[in-house]
Amino acid sequence: MHVSAPASSANLGPGFDCLALAVDLPFELVTAADAPEGFLEVEGRHPAAVAFAAAGGDPEVELRWRSPIPPGRGLGFSGAARVAGALLAGLLDGLDELTARDGAFRIATDLEGHPDNAAASAYGGLTVAAGEQVLSVPVPAGLALFAWSPSTTTSTVSSRASLPEQVPLEDAVFSLGRAALWVAAMSTGDLSVLRTACQDRLHQPPRLAAREDSRSVLEHLLGVDPVLAAWLSGSGPTVAALVPAEVDVSALADGLPAEGQTRVVPVASSGGRAVA
């Protein structure tokens, strides 16, 4: 059996731990007996293996994986792997795909410690997660994600530890309104407000203070006309932007650090699924 779950870009600026966008970079997981060439062995500590076991997967079943998602860069590698692992276990146990997907979201959320990446990888589109409640909002057609990723990684654990335990009420209100504006913009198709919607005062300032390269890339992208919104993807160091699908990549990449990798990928409208 073969399953796939998309990458994700979480937070989208103000939507800390609740908003995420599914990205068409798949994490694929397959039983060893069905694995095509090019798949890698899943070791016991791999997030896909841990989620497979947590979902009741048979420990005797050998797994293989492949994915273009860069680990440790803020594009939801572990979330996608965990959704795929739990989803595969559920399907092998005879669950229908919808039930297995719901279970995969819950298990991946428990393992991640927050629901945003798991929600996007499980359900696709723009997801809004509050505890175990998730809604997937369809993304208007003709949009893509532009991502800049440096060669270095960021530890999610250490990054989260650097965040303040309390924030001023004014900052909380600032970010709450902009997170709601994200959802309203996608629901109505009025993308003109996204430059405002991606502003944040909760988590991005301290994280960007520790990553001068990411901060300068974010400022650059917000100054380029085709960019609709830009944010620190997850805990970073990747910086992501929502752009028209036909955007000229060279126009966006001009002025960015030469050592970083840039890519434009479609938004994933669907989440974790069995691969025919």
**Do 178 and 133 lie in a common domain?**
no
**Do 48 and 65 lie in a common domain?**
yes
**Do 27 and 118 lie in a common domain?**
yes
Report the pLDDT value the prediction gives residue 105, as an integer from 0 to 100: 98
**Do 232 and 208 lie in a common domain?**
yes
**Do 109 and 53 lie in a common domain?**
yes
Split into its structural domains, the chain has a count of 2
- Among 129-133, 160-164, 264-268, the range scoring the smallest mean pLDDT is 160-164
Considering just the CA atoms, what is the radius of gyration of the chain in Å? 18
**Do 130 and 202 lie in a common domain?**
no
**Do 90 and 173 lie in a common domain?**
no
**Do 112 and 150 lie in a common domain?**
no
What pTM value is reported for the model?
0.95
Angle at which helices 97-112 and 47-54 cross, to 10°: 120
29 closest CA partner among 13, 12, 50, 14: 50
Report the pLDDT value the prediction gives residue 252, as an integer from 0 to 100: 86
The mean pLDDT of 132-142, rounded to a whole number, is 95
Q: Is the pLDDT of residue 259 over 90?
A: no
CATH value at residue 45: 3.30.230.10
**Do 100 and 166 lie in a common domain?**
no
Please, what is the average pLDDT of the chain?
A: 95
Dihedral angle of Cα 45, 85, 114, 74, to the nearest 10 degrees: 70
Report the pLDDT value the prediction gives residue 274, as an integer from 0 to 100: 97
Domain range enclosing 32: 2-137+268-274
The beta-strand segments (E) located in 120-238 are: 126-130, 133-137, 143-149, 229-232
CATH value at residue 246: 3.30.70.890
pLDDT in tens, 71-95: 999 999 999 999 999 999 999 999 9
Q: Give the model's confidence band at 266: pLDDT under 50 very low, under 70 low, under 90 confident, else very high.
A: very high
**Do 133 and 153 lie in a common domain?**
no
Between residues 145 and 159, the one the model is more confident about: 145
Distance CA 228, CA 154 (A): 25
What percent of the chain clears pLDDT 90, i.e. is strictly above it?
88
